[in-house]
A and B are shown apart, each in its own frame.
Chain A
Amino acid sequence: MTEPDAELLELFHDETIQRLDDMDAALLAAESGQVTPDTINELFRHAHTIKGAAGILGFSDIAALAHAAEDILAVARARGTFSPDLAAPLLRATAALRARAEGAAEPFDGPLAELAACLAAIQSAEAGAGGAAGKPGTGQAPAPGAAGETRADGQPGADGQPGADGQPGADGQPGADGEPGADGEPGADGETGAAEGAGAAEGAQGGTTAPEGGAGSWAAREGTGRAASLPQPRPAPGPAPGAPPVPAVVAPPGDAHPGHPPAGSPPPPHRPGAGRRSVRVPAEKIDHLLDLVGEVMQDRRRLAHALGAAGALPPDAADELSAGERMLGELKDSAVGMRTLPVAMITGPLPRAVRDVARSVGREVEFSVTGAETELDRVILEGLAEPLTHLLRNAVIHGIEPPQEREQSGKPARGRIELRAVPRGGLVEIAVADDGRGVTPEILEEARREGSLADVLSRAGFSTASEVTDLAGRGVGLDAVKAHVHSLGGRFEVSSEPGRGTTVSLLLPVALALLKVLLVRRGAAVFGLPIAGVEEVVTVDATSTLQGLAALDLRGRSVPVADLAAIIGATAPPLPGRPPALVVTAGGRWLAAACDALHGEEEVVVKPLGPLLAGASGYLGAAILGDGRIALLVEPGALIRGYRQAVPRRPPAGGLPGVAHPPGAAAPAGHPAPAGHAPPGGPAPAASAGHAAPDGDAPPAGPAAPAKILVVEDSFIVRELQRCVLESAGHQVVTARDGREALGILAADHEIGLVVTDLEMPVLGGLELTRAIRADPARPGVPVVMVTSRGSEEDRRRGMDAGVDVYIDKQGFQQSALLATIAELTGR
């Protein structure tokens, strides 16, 4: 295995080169006058993405140059026109970026100055139309001096970090070693002209223009003898690459640039990625490979089983079998390895985020990341950035005490938060640990009574902060994180010691496509439950009943027992005597799901059920077993939800440890509706009698039932947050991740009485969604509430034009404001 940094860099390198290729093609076309709004958009997007990726990796100079290009393209995009004159300076910028990617180390002063001049020129040309031609040239006039100066004073920040004052760059100055351009700015146009075709032409025509000073720096320099490499991003100033992870100190006094590469640090002597090329492969191809590997493994297991059953194997054959098994294991690991990326991929911005939160609430925090080289499925990893940020935020705000309080209790004033990733078998544990105040003894006691701390803390609406500072209280967010982890087939745990700190752990599968499951049979069907989600397996012999419901005694805890088939709404013959049962827990509830037989543990290939079965929630997907049969993979949390929905409807008949399920009713609900809340269309007698649900979280008294609300939001944290807020007010909530999904739901569900939507979403945004709703004659006047962070007057007006009823600013988003707005709109 190579070190993760190298892999990350390679990925960034490849993507950047690809984008630069695309940009060059578009710029060359634009230079000859072939430009469409799409081209400008595409250019803008590439520059924007390079900037973002570079920023995350800590290449602040690359980010700065991409940003400068983005600024120019933003103006062009806004105007809808692209003057051919703009192509040349932008091409020089892409060439400089490409040279850096290929290993050159020159600072970007030249291209930066040129782009700045160019931007100033087109901005000043805004008023006086028509004068744009030739502007870039004149605008550059002052630049030579400027460029010369910056370089003369020892290249502040070999990393080109603008504004990196106080960071002496003189030491090491990597670009200085024998590189032709570094010492001869004035004449650089001549030298580079010889080396680079396009660039040289620009230089010649520009004559006295400044950027040529920088031109020397962007000439590609393959063959100068230095290993081609990207600058090494170091999360923290520290020892040589390959040393154990170094804690990235977050808010030590005086360290103004955590996460930035130290100025002038010499390039590593040897880069493992040097000279190695990588191949871009579409993700589907890798998925297919992984599918096949998984199937071959299952096939092989079946073969081994059949051979074993046939009798004693000759020793040779047995050896061959196990050798093949080993090779297959390696094949699987490398196939999985193609889909995985190091956790470091998403930890880049975290130190900064922790620091910012800590500063805003007056905490001192030392943040460290360990195990960043641990690998996880790319898709899982991408979905993890937001939950992790949330957990860290929680740890700072709710975990770490103010400095004085810490000192009074004999702790160092600066709190510690550690993010660690540790491989555990087929799983990876991602933990956020703080040394803060921990939970109170009362909460621990409650956790002991109810099952687990994770359950108590993640109960919707639970917050450990005595004063609720903002909506992201600990409870609401944890609930969302937990639901997310469960949906991946993972496990969520919390441990805490009063006064000593809290650790939140997410146990996640390494690869999304492969899942270790426990296979069980119920009736004619085989179901799989992720191993991570099953607490234990018990045999149901002695059960007692309470209020007519069966329960078993599990080391002093009374755990309800129900028939797996009844819970998920399947039909099956009665259970045998003393059936096995899987114990699962979620939301503070425990449940033993009884089945006919256990089929053992297997690593299966998870296949999606597809869009037509999206309505049947509670499944992680399906797996095809060795004999060709399909096993549905059940999310453990869905069993608890299914049981809670099934129980109030009808007590079990007879002595069977089961719950009768009304035929045809929807089984596991897609969301944990508050207890006693009538499920949609559910034949709950209480609901049909016209009363509010009998027990528990009955909606506030009112003449009509609360509205059914569709929440459309691409950020899962915000989405879950809104769902919690609305559900706790008694509303029924359906969620969608983008406008198109929302339209699908609206078409199918005519009970939806109100839509709460975000503005910016992939696939179909909030404005388009609103227009589509307004254009549909089938649903006139469904109120639309837009909740967004882009609260400019212009956006507000566009929203209103599209037909938005109320516009709520995400920044100032208040629970009560949203609820009041909804009450008003629905007339309740």
Chain B
Amino acid sequence: MSAYVRFRVADEAYAVPVAHVLEVAGLGQVTPVPGSRAEILGVRNLRGKILPVIDLAALLGTRRAGPPGRLLVTESGGRQAGLAIDEVTEVGELADLADEAEFALLLGTLLEDGTLIGVLDVPAVFDALAGPP
């Protein structure tokens, strides 16, 4: 059992280890950065710091009905980024991962009360975006 922040992107359920989460914030005003990858919505000013905002739905290949509502500010290896999500559903413990990840960006998946939850691999998400577009 470990602690996770659970959240929703489109109608899919995901979780991320709390160790990677700095805070949950509003989406704020996001300034697009022309020339960046399509999965990066832009940058926002988070208390004087420039924070890149990742369009998690685009990165995970899910389809979202409306604009994202919340920002999950995450950190890994000194890199920080906001993950644009729809909403945080819960913070709490989750059972151990049931399966090995079949997806590049997931640590694994698990089933809880009939809901499939994907556990996000934050360093992998950052790595996937770090190269040239």
Chain A residues with CB under 8 Å of chain B are 291, 295, 525, 565, 568-570, 607-619, 621-622, 624, 628-630, 632, 664, 666-668, 670, 734, 744-745, 747-749
Contact = CB atoms under 8 A, between A and B. Distances in A.
Nearest to B29: A629
Contacts of A745: 131-132
A613 B33 contact: yes
Given A628-B45, A630-B44, A616 B133 contact: yes
Interface residues of B, number: 29
Contacts of B49: 607
B81 A664 contact: no
Q: Which of B31, B44, B126 has the most CB of A within 10 A?
A: B31
A749 B36 contact: no
B127 A613 contact: no
Contacts of B16: none
A612 B54 contact: yes
Contacts of B81: 610, 612
Contacts of A291: 48
Nearest to A523: B32
A615 B133 contact: yes
Given A630-B31, A670-B132, 13 more contacts: A569-B34, A607-B50, A612-B130, A613-B40, A613-B43, A614-B132, A615-B129, A618-B35, A628-B29, A630-B50, A632-B31, A667-B34, A749-B131
Contacts of A612: 40, 52, 54, 79, 81, 126, 129-130
Nearest to A681: B133
A619 B34 CA distance: 10
Contacts of A568: 34-35
Nearest to A622: B50
Contacts of B19: none
Nearest to B30: A630
Contacts of A748: 128, 130-132
B3 interface: no
Q: Which of B38, B126, B132 has the most CB of A within 10 A?
A: B132
Nearest to A619: B33
B61 to A, nearest CB: 16
B37 interface: yes
A783 B48 CA distance: 45
Contacts of B128: 748
A734 B132 contact: yes
7 contacts: A568-B35, A569-B35, A614-B131, A615-B35, A615-B36, A616-B36, A748-B132
B131 A610 contact: no
B121 to A, nearest CB: 14
Given A615-B36, A616-B35, A619-B33, A630 B43 contact: yes
Nearest to A665: B35
A666 B33 CA distance: 11
A755 B45 CA distance: 38
A617 B35 contact: yes
Given A624-B48, A628-B45, A630-B45, A614 B130 contact: yes
B111 to A, nearest CB: 31
Interface in B22-80: 29, 31-38, 40, 43-45, 48-50, 52, 54, 79-80
B45 A667 contact: no
B50 A608 contact: yes
Q: Which of A610, A667, A670, A745 has the most CB of B within 10 A?
A: A610
Contacts of A628: 29, 45
A611 B79 contact: yes
A282 to B, nearest CB: 15
A668 B132 CA distance: 12
A638 B99 CA distance: 46
A619 B35 CA distance: 10
A525 B35 CA distance: 14
A565 B34 CA distance: 9
B52 to A, nearest CB: 4
A610 B79 CA distance: 8
B57 to A, nearest CB: 16
